Structure 1
Amino acid sequence: MANKTNELSHSKWVCKYHIVFTPKYRRKIIYNQYREDLIEIFKRLCSYKGVEIIEGHMMPDHVHMLLSIPPKIAISTFVGYLKGKSALQMFDKHANLKYKFGNRHFWAEGYYVSTVGLNEATVKKYIAEQEKHDIALDKLSVKEYEDPFKGNK
């Protein structure tokens, strides 16, 4: 799959992107009842634009996706489309979200994107193992939260 080229009418291309974005205020909402709905919405929106989801994973507070996006679509335009339309569809499907995320702001501003190039296997492995790594770190770290205004106690 690393060398698979796609074709448009006058071009051949391999454009793969690793994209990460978060819900507003990085709320840990994706694992709850909304996870399956978001997966379905992302698949539908990507198919509308001719974008292939190579790998994807929903973390409790962010989304990792490895996408193959045609060069005729700007990455910023596509991420804006994906976040905007998915937020509208989530608010339509779950009316109670408007009380948690007032004014239809489901996703935080901004996103992370990197081109994958020839190291696709490495990025796929990273996305697949991200959850296991985060759980292991949570188990290892026992943080003592201190109030910065009261000093050390």
Structure 2
Amino acid sequence: MDRQVRTSPGAAYDLGYHVVWCPKYRRPVLGGRVKTRLEELIHAKADEHGWQIVALEVMADHVSLSVRPHPKNSPSYVANQFKGFTSRHLRAEFAHLRSQLPTLWSRSYFVATVGAVSAETVQRYIETQYERTPKGGGRA
């Protein structure tokens, strides 16, 4: 992520969040068509809000996302927008998600602002997860 100062009326900002969330019970249900559709939905929600997705990786048991929102959007708002929107659509489109899980996502999530570590470090972390993850899934 290069340093990109964005502007809006009354503000100039360079803000990024690294957001990670998991399915309920960390079940590995995010593969195949579910993964493809989840990626589409995440991009659609980001476009709706005017947020820039820098990096996105959907693993079988978690989602890792680097996003640049507007500063008026709190980290909890950003995480909950993605989780709520994707859960509603995925559970409507894939019946097995309704039957396997009481809710798609766990209530928790991880958010870090990009800045304590460089944006490049976060992007490299997301893009190289498959190289570090042991076969059969791993932890975020």
Fold shared per TM-score above 0.5: yes
Match of 1:149? none
Greater length-normalized contact order (CA 8 Å, ≥ 6 residues apart): 2
Match of 1:14? 14
Q: Deviations over 1:74-130 (max 9, x none)?
A: 11012112101110011121233211123xx10011101111126111111111111
Identity, % of aligned positions: 26
Match of 2:89? 89
For 1:47 and 1:75, how far apart are their aligned partners in 2?
Answer: 17
1:10 CA drift (Å): 0.8
1:80 is paired with a residue whose SS is helix
Match of 2:75? 75
Match of 1:122? 121
Q: Name the Cα RMSD after superposition.
A: 1.5
Where has structure 1 moved over 6 Å in runs of 4 or more? none
TM-score normalised per structure 2:
0.90
Unaligned runs of 5+ in 2: none
For 2:86 and 2:75, how far apart are their aligned partners in 1?
Answer: 16
Point out the structure with max Rg over C-alpha.
1
2:32 is paired with a residue whose SS is coil
1:28 CA drift (Å): 0.5
For 1:94 and 1:58, how far apart are their aligned partners in 2?
Answer: 17
Match of 1:142? none
For 1:109 and 1:26, how far apart are their aligned partners in 2?
Answer: 11
1:2 CA drift (Å): 2.5
> 1:8 corresponds to which letter in structure 2?
S
For 2:111 and 2:78, how far apart are their aligned partners in 1?
Answer: 12
For 1:125 and 1:114, how far apart are their aligned partners in 2?
Answer: 15
> 2:68 corresponds to which letter in structure 1?
S
> 1:97 corresponds to which letter in structure 2?
L
Count the aligned residue pairs: 135
> 1:108 corresponds to which letter in structure 2?
S
Match of 2:23? 23
Match of 1:112? 110
